[in-house]
Amino acid sequence: MLSCRDASRLISDGLDRRLTPAERWRLRLHLLLCAPCCRFRRGARWLHEALRLAPADVELPPDARGRIGLALERAAREE
């Protein structure tokens, strides 16, 4: 069975590309048993759609960009 880390990667990958049948099957099985990953999937889908619908000329404030950059750096170190 997938770990939550692997499931979250597949959830994110699935927003950008079509998952293989094996990936979809493994992810669905994991989601049947893992409420936190289901919540992550819902949130990721919501964010993906919100960003898709956002006007192109919207810019993040500098402090928000800084917080996002720090979060990305922290996540990269954890991998």
Domain layout of the chain by residue ranges: 4-78
Give the integer Cα–Cα distance in Å for 25 and 77. Answer: 29
Look up residue 20 and give its DSSP letter. P
State pTM to two decimals. 0.71
Question: Ranked by mean pLDDT, which of 17-21, 67-71, 75-79 comes out on top?
Answer: 17-21
pLDDT at residue 59, rounded to an integer:
82
H helices present in the chain, as ranges:
4-16, 21-33, 35-53, 62-78
Exposed / middle / buried, residue 10 (Cβ in 10 Å: 0-12, 13-18, 19+): buried
What does the pLDDT average to over 47-73? 86
Instruction: Read off the pLDDT of residues 7-54 as tens digits, 9 standing for 90 and up.
Output: 999 999 999 999 999 999 999 999 999 999 999 999 999 989 988 888
